[in-house]
Amino acid sequence: MLACDTREAWAQFLEFVKNRCTPTAFGNWFAPIRIVEASAEEITLEVPNIFVQEYLLSNYKKDLVAFLPTLPNGEPAIKFSVASPVKKAPAASAAPTPVAEERPSEESSGLYEIKLNTNYRFSSFIEGGNNQFVKSAAVGVASRPGVSYNPLFIHGGVGLGKTHILHSIGHHIKENHKKLRVQCITTEGFINDLVDHLRKKSVDRMKRFYRSDVDVLLVDDIQFLQNRLNFEEEFCNTFETLINQNKQIVITSDKPPAQLKLSKRVIDRMEWGLVVHMGMPELETRVAILQHKAELKGLSIPNEVAFFIAEHIQSNVRQLEGAINRLSAHCRLLNVAITQEMVERTLKEMLVTAPREKITVEQVLKSVAAIFQVSINDLKGSSRLKDVAIARQVAMYLAKEYVKDSLITLGLYFRKTHSTILHACKAIEKKIGADEQLTRMIQMVRRNLETA
C-alpha cells in the first residue's frame, strides 16, 4: 500500500464509520483525529486524548484492520500521538485539580444499561447437580439483596447460563423489591460509557449515578476489564462504594477471580463475598433442558433421542439450544418426525463422536481424597467417622456420575453392595444445595476431575 493509499484508506474508513454512527458520535470521536504521518506500512494518528485512542481500538479494531495496514500479528499498524493540551491561563487559586466543566448534553443524560432478557428467569432455568448451588445462591441474593452474599461472583465457561442467572436475579429483584434500582451492565458497556463521559466531561455525573442512584449492580463478563488499566481503578472505586453501602453486586466471569489478570486490589474485592462455579449440566439435566427448549418451540422429541443428543453435545447449553433450533427448522421445512437417524444426519457436525477422556474410579477416589483430606484407604474402608463417611458417599456419588460402570461393578471398588452405593448417591443428592460447604467441595472435586 502506498502512502497516499494509506491516507485514502483512512478516508474510506471514516466514510465507513460515518454511515454507522450518529453525527454527534462522529463529531466527538472521529472528527478530531488527524493524520500525522502515513506510509505503506503504518499510519500515525494524532488524537486529542488517550480516551479517543481507547475508544477507537475497543470499538473499531476489526474495521481498522480491514481498512488499514496491519502488523504481522494482525493488529492494526497505527501509532498514536496524543495532542498536547491547549495551554490555559493559570487559575487564580492553587487548587490542584481543575474542576471539569459540568454541562452534560441531552444525549449524555441516558446512562448505558442492558435490558434484561425477558426469557432469562429463574423459572426457565433448569437445575441439576452442577448448577444447583449457583441457582440457590442467586435466589438467595435476589430474595435479600445486599444481605446474604456480597458480591456474588459466578464463573464458568461460555454458554452455561451465567447471563441467564444474572438477568433472573434482575427480574426477581425488580418484581419483588420495587423500590430498588437495578442496573445491569456488561463490562464492555461500562467502559465505553465511561470513555464517553470522560470525553464529554460529564464523568462526575456518571460517578454520581453509580454511587447514589444504583441499589443493585449486575455486571456481566468482568473478564473484559482485563488489560484495561485505565478503567480498573474507576471500576474498583464504584464497586467499593456500592459494597460499603451494602448495595448488592453480582458479577459473572469466564474464570475465577484469582485467574483474572487484574490488580490484587480488584481480585481481593471480588473474593469478598461468595464465589461460585457454574459447570456443564450433567446428562439428566441436559436432557431436561433439551425437552424444555423443545417444548417452547412446540417440538416433540422422544426421550431416547433427547438422551442421544444430550450425550453427544457436551460443551455447553447454548449448543444444545442451537441443536433444537436446527431440528425445529428442519422439521418445519420437511415436515418429518424427529428420530435418532434424522438427528444424526441433521446435527452431524455438532455431535461429538469421540467421548471425553474416560474418568476412572481411581481418579475419582484420588480427587475426593485430596479435597476432603482423607486417605484413599479410608474411602474404600468402613470407618464411621463422620468426615470419612461423607467423603466416601461423595466418592460413590461422583463415581456413579462420571464412571459409566454398573452399580455392581462400582460396588466392587468400594467393597460395598450396589444398594449402599445407591443409598450414598441419594444421601448426597439431598445434601447438595442445602449444605454449602459440602456443595462447594464437590464442585472442587468436579473441577479437578474435569480439568485433569
**Residue ranges in contact with ligand ADP by CB under 6 A:** 120, 124-126, 131, 158-164, 281, 289, 317-318, 321
Closest CB to ligand ADP among residues 286, 416: 286
Residue 427 CB coordination number (10 Å): 15
Smallest separation (angstroms) from ligand ADP to the CB of 257? 16
Smallest separation (angstroms) from ligand ADP to the CB of 316? 7
Say how far apart CA 376 and CA 95 lie, in whole Å. Answer: 68
- Tell me which of Mg ion, ligand ADP, none is bound by residue 126, counting a contact when its beta carbon lies within the kind-specific cut-off of 5 to 8 angstroms: ligand ADP
Amino acid identity, position 368: V
What three-state secondary structure class fits 79? strand
Closest CB to ligand ADP among residues 163, 202: 163
DSSP tag of 245 = T
What three-state secondary structure class fits 288? helix
Closest CB to ligand ADP among residues 108, 168: 168
What three-state secondary structure class fits 266? helix
- Tell me which of ligand ADP, Mg ion, none is bound by residue 266, counting a contact when its beta carbon lies within the kind-specific cut-off of 5 to 8 angstroms: none
Conformation bin of residue 433: beta by default, left when phi > 0, alpha when psi is -120 to 50: left
- Tell me which of Mg ion, ligand ADP, none is bound by residue 125, counting a contact when its beta carbon lies within the kind-specific cut-off of 5 to 8 angstroms: ligand ADP
- Tell me which of Mg ion, ligand ADP, none is bound by residue 210, counting a contact when its beta carbon lies within the kind-specific cut-off of 5 to 8 angstroms: none
C-alpha atoms less than 13 angstroms from C-alpha of 368 in its C-beta half-sphere: 29
> Contact, 193 vs 55, CB < 8 A?
no
Closest CB to Mg ion among residues 162, 171: 162
Nearest residue to ligand ADP on Cβ basis? 161
Cis status of the peptide bond prior to 23, with omega within 30 of 0: no
Closest CB to Mg ion among residues 112, 307: 112
Q: Give the Å distances, CA to CA, from 280 to 29, 175, 274, 289, 427.
A: 42, 29, 20, 12, 22
Smallest separation (angstroms) from ligand ADP to the CB of 255? 12
Smallest separation (angstroms) from Mg ion to the CB of 166? 8
Closest CB to ligand ADP among residues 324, 445: 324
Phi, psi at 355, each rounded to 5°: -65, 160
Closest CB to ligand ADP among residues 4, 158: 158
- Tell me which of Mg ion, ligand ADP, none is bound by residue 321, counting a contact when its beta carbon lies within the kind-specific cut-off of 5 to 8 angstroms: ligand ADP
- Tell me which of Mg ion, ligand ADP, none is bound by residue 159, counting a contact when its beta carbon lies within the kind-specific cut-off of 5 to 8 angstroms: ligand ADP
- Tell me which of Mg ion, ligand ADP, none is bound by residue 161, counting a contact when its beta carbon lies within the kind-specific cut-off of 5 to 8 angstroms: ligand ADP
Smallest separation (angstroms) from ligand ADP to the CB of 225? 16
Say how far apart CA 312 and CA 304 lie, in whole Å. Answer: 12
Measured at the CA of 25, the angle between CA 78 and CA 15, to 5 degrees, comes to 60
Smallest separation (angstroms) from ligand ADP to the CB of 317? 3
Say how far apart CA 100 and CA 198 lie, in whole Å. Answer: 10
Smallest separation (angstroms) from ligand ADP to the CB of 227? 20
Nearest residue to Mg ion on Cβ basis? 163
Query: Hey, what's the cell of 181?
Result: 434500582
Closest CB to Mg ion among residues 251, 368: 251
DSSP tag of 111 = P
- Tell me which of Mg ion, ligand ADP, none is bound by residue 77, counting a contact when its beta carbon lies within the kind-specific cut-off of 5 to 8 angstroms: none
Closest CB to Mg ion among residues 162, 366: 162
Say how far apart CA 148 and CA 353 lie, in whole Å. Answer: 43
Residues that bind Mg ion (CB under 5 A): 162-163
Smallest separation (angstroms) from Mg ion to the CB of 282? 21
- Tell me which of Mg ion, ligand ADP, none is bound by residue 164, counting a contact when its beta carbon lies within the kind-specific cut-off of 5 to 8 angstroms: ligand ADP
> Contact, 88 vs 244, CB < 8 A?
no
Closest CB to ligand ADP among residues 257, 281: 281
Smallest separation (angstroms) from ligand ADP to the CB of 151? 17
Phi, psi at 105, each rounded to 5°: -75, 170
Phi, psi at 114, each rounded to 5°: -90, 135
Smallest separation (angstroms) from ligand ADP to the CB of 161? 3
- Tell me which of Mg ion, ligand ADP, none is bound by residue 436, counting a contact when its beta carbon lies within the kind-specific cut-off of 5 to 8 angstroms: none
DSSP 406-445: -HHHHHHHHTS-HHHHHHHHHHHHHHTTTSHHHHHHHHHH
